[in-house]
Amino acid sequence: MFISLGACGATLAGGALALRLRDRLHLILAFSAGAIIALAFFDLLPEAIKIGSSTFEPASVLAIAAVGFFGYTVLDRMILLHAHHDGGAGPAEGALVERQWAGAGSLSVHSLMDGFAIGVAFRASPGIGIVVAAAVLAHDCSDGMNTVNLVLKNGGSTKQAFRWLFTDALAPVVGAAASLVVSLPSSAISSLLGLFAGFFLYIGASDLLPESFHAHPKFLTTLMTLFGAGLLYVVARLAG
């Protein structure tokens, strides 16, 4: 529970940084795109394959991730299809709010699973718990940034961004508390991680990345995307 409070603080710190640099949002979006895609490739998918190795073939885990990706695609397209302005200029306010819920909500549920993972790992052994906690703390700062950026990018106010940030920050604490009374089979955890990987691949590649490049210098935004991906890769390797 103490370490889950540290995860809460790391998430808040990342979100506060994103809010402070709001006038350079395209650079933060570019960093977040690289970070969230790298999170799927270098953290969630390898963990899903490892945890589900006794139940699933690696191809099955990747298929679950594909279901998450294309399921999120359908959700996103359906929101846009039913919520355009009459003039067809772009998504209406209701659509933007729904995209805030879908994107920031996915990150918050992921943070909930992070806290749950910390609790389960420490129940297995202190050594495993420390490794898992280090991994969670390392990328929770990025999660906070990603949550704020998704809200701001979809027309949300600073107040709405703060609400989602606090939701995301409290999620690992709730997850850690839940781990004291609830246990999931490895197959269920593997499936959830695979789904989240698909969600985040879509959010990063189809939402954050194109927006960061829109009407802004390409070199610097590309550099920030690669920096975000590289940083998460290093964190995942060190934590592993």
Q: How many whole angstroms from its chain centre is CA 11?
A: 11
pLDDT 10s digits, 142-195: 677 777 777 777 777 778 788 888 888 888 888 888 888 887 788 888 888 888
pLDDT of residue 204: 82
Model confidence at 67: pLDDT above 90: yes
pTM equals: 0.65
What percent of the chain is modeled with pLDDT above 90?
Answer: 8
pLDDT of residue 32: 77
pLDDT greater at residue 193 or residue 226: 226
Q: How far apart are CA 46 and CA 41, in angstroms?
A: 7
The residues, ordered by sequence, that sit 6+ positions from 113 with a Cβ below 8 Å of its Cβ are 175, 189, 192, 193, 196
Q: How far apart are CA 43 and CA 41, in angstroms?
A: 6
Mean pLDDT score across all residues of the chain: 76
pLDDT of residue 89: 45
Q: How far apart are CA 224 and CA 229, in angstroms?
A: 9
Query: Which of 13-22, 84-93, 132-141, 226-235 is the least confident region?
Result: 84-93
pLDDT of residue 139: 59
Model confidence at 125: pLDDT above 60: no
Q: How far apart are CA 188 and CA 119, in angstroms?
A: 16
Amino acid at 24: R
Q: What is the mean pLDDT of residues 44-71?
A: 90
Q: Please report which confidence band the pLDDT of residue 83 belongs to, taking 50, 70 and 90 as the band edges.
A: very low
pLDDT of residue 226: 93
The structure tokens listed for 91 are: 């998504």
Model confidence at 88: pLDDT above 50: no
Model confidence at 71: pLDDT above 50: yes
Domain ranges (residues) in the chain: 2-12+22-239
Model confidence at 79: pLDDT above 60: no
pLDDT 10s digits, 5-44: 777 777 777 777 666 766 676 777 788 788 888 888 988 8
